Amino acid sequence: MIAKAMWFVAAGLGIAQVAAAETPDDPAAEARGSGPYAAVMEADPDLPNHVIYRPADINSAPKLGVVVWGNGACSDDGASARKHLGEIASHGYLVIAAGNILSGPAAPPGARPDSRGPGPDGLLPSPATTTEDVRKGIDWAIAENARSGSKYEGRIDTQAIAAAGHSCGGLQAIHLAPDPRIKTVLVHNSGVYNDERSRILNVVVSKKDLEGYRQPVIYILGGPSDIAFANGSDDFTRIKHVPAALANLDVGHGGTFQEPFGGAAASVAVDWLEWRLRGNETAARTFDGPACRLCVGSAWTFQRNW
């Protein structure tokens, strides 16, 4: 079993009041989340090379919003952010990460994510997953919502779709922004390189990509010690045509992904999704208004362009 974390209503502050350890004898515990709909992490043979996070009891949850996720390093480990993604799913979302379950207690014996280092030219190798791999999650979710006999039939809100990702996966989320089905974007510990020279083979990025935003976007960065801090901060200053926010917590590039229930960053991500996809006004107060929760009395620094 996993004890619930007791979060203040101002969950966007990211302060867990009680966070019990996940028990090692339960491989599913790390992805269960603290929300009202205990989540499961699974592979589905109908969507190979992807990992799905969803409420265990789909019918007890509201219609599921959809979040497609790009992994850090664009890796093929769809379980690398399992605590973060399980937390989102436990609030009534279908979360789909590219890759397979290659880490954590639920990984099969001998499973290893792709971890190749830079080549002689200093470039990291071509990513193990692509933007199109992430996009497949949207295509599949919409198809499953309409497919007769699917456990998701009629259970997905196809008007509530978000793209998100960490580091290289954040660049994948940026690349997906022009897709008209995506209603909001969350960029974690990432941003377009300020010199516009990609450090990853076959990943082409440009500040011009920021023009592709057609929806509200939030950058969630790890403060000055985050290697993406300068890039993400510069992205934010350039975005004038859509609502944009920049939330910084001084935790570095790794964020809070490995903390119970995804830590502070997951709490902020859930509030953003609840506001932008579901219109939840309580969640909106984390970001909006003169005394927003991230604006006053929190460990976060926060900027917005609205």
- Determine whether 225 is exposed, middle or buried from the number of CB atoms within 10 Å of its CB (0-12, 13-18, 19+): exposed
Residue 9 has pLDDT above 80, yes or no: no
Residue 11 has pLDDT above 60, yes or no: no
Which CATH number do you get for residue 200? 3.40.50.1820
HEC sequence for 79-109? CCCHHHHHHHHCCCEEEEEECECCCCCCCCC
Residue 161 lies in a domain: yes
Q: How far apart are alpha carbons 53 and 31 in whole angstroms?
A: 8
What's residue 50's pLDDT? 98
Residue 25 has pLDDT above 60, yes or no: no
What's residue 20's pLDDT? 37
What is the average pLDDT across 253-266? Answer: 97
What is the average pLDDT across 163-188? Answer: 98
Residue 246 has pLDDT above 90, yes or no: yes
Residue 238 lies in a domain: yes
Structural domain that includes position 68 = 6-304
Residue 6 has pLDDT above 80, yes or no: no
pTM more than 0.95: no
CA 155 to chain centre: 21
Residue 218 lies in a domain: yes
CA 136 to chain centre: 16
Confidence of residue 70 (pLDDT cuts 50, 70, 90): very high
Query: For 96-145, what is each residue's pLDDT tens digit?
Result: 999 999 999 999 998 877 666 666 666 666 789 999 999 999 999 999 99
Residue 153 lies in a domain: yes
- Determine whether 102 is exposed, middle or buried from the number of CB atoms within 10 Å of its CB (0-12, 13-18, 19+): buried
Confidence of residue 197 (pLDDT cuts 50, 70, 90): confident
Give which of 224, 203, 257, 229 is closest to 81, Cα–Cα: 257
Position 259, amino acid: E
Query: For 151-160, what is each residue's pLDDT tens digit?
Result: 999 999 999 9
Residue 129 lies in a domain: yes
Task: State the Cα torsion 163-169-171-173 to the nearest 10°.
Answer: -10
Give the rounded percent of residues in the chain with a pLDDT score beyond 70: 88
Query: For 128-142, what is each residue's pLDDT tens digit?
Result: 999 999 999 999 999
Residue 1 lies in a domain: no
What is the average pLDDT across 270-274? Answer: 98
Residue 16 has pLDDT above 90, yes or no: no
Where do the DSSP E strands lie in the chain? 6-7, 16-18, 39-42, 50-55, 64-70, 93-98, 156-166, 184-188, 217-221, 244-248, 301-304
Task: Give the number of other CB atoms < 10 A from CB of residue 69.
Answer: 30
Confidence of residue 5 (pLDDT cuts 50, 70, 90): very low
What's residue 15's pLDDT? 32
Residues in the chain: 306
Q: How far apart are alpha carbons 274 and 186 in whole angstroms?
A: 13
Residue 180 lies in a domain: yes
| Structural domains in the chain (count) | 1
